[in-house]
Amino acid sequence: MFFIELDEGQASLADIQRISQHITEHRQLVSLMTPNQAEDLSTILAPTLRADHDEDNKREHWQRLLKEFVIHDAKGEPIRFYREPRTGRLYFANQQGIDAVIQQTDAELDSTTSR
């Protein structure tokens, strides 16, 4: 099982750039990216002088990266981004990790509704 919680809900542009920066700090991850995914990452991290920080364009590239970026662990299991639909939390996980996140979320939501 493997999962990392990356944000706790709606990602701000600062969250998106922070997560993207962490990806670039792990050369192994960048080497597994397709040229289009690497371009998405570059666009997200590119400085801009625009007042809106080119947020719409960066979010568009982020959404594509969330959908398309997949790596495989030593057992060949895919590890990908997963957004838990009920909480909006973003994870990077293999399938066992996703299943654990769903169980954990079920337990959290059950405990809050039973109060």
Q: Taking phi first (over 0 means left), then psi (-120 to 50 degrees means alpha), and beta for anything else, what does residue 46 get? A: beta
pLDDT per residue as tens digits for the range 41-73? 999 999 988 788 889 999 999 999 999 999 888
Beta strands in 3-88 (DSSP E): 3-7, 70-72, 78-83
Q: Please say if the pLDDT value at position 1 is more than 70.
A: no
Q: What is the reported pLDDT for 65?
A: 93
pLDDT over 70 percentage in the chain: 94
Mean of pLDDT values over 74-101: 90
Q: What is the reported pLDDT for 73?
A: 81
pTM of the full predicted structure?
A: 0.78
So where are the chain's domains?
Answer: 3-113
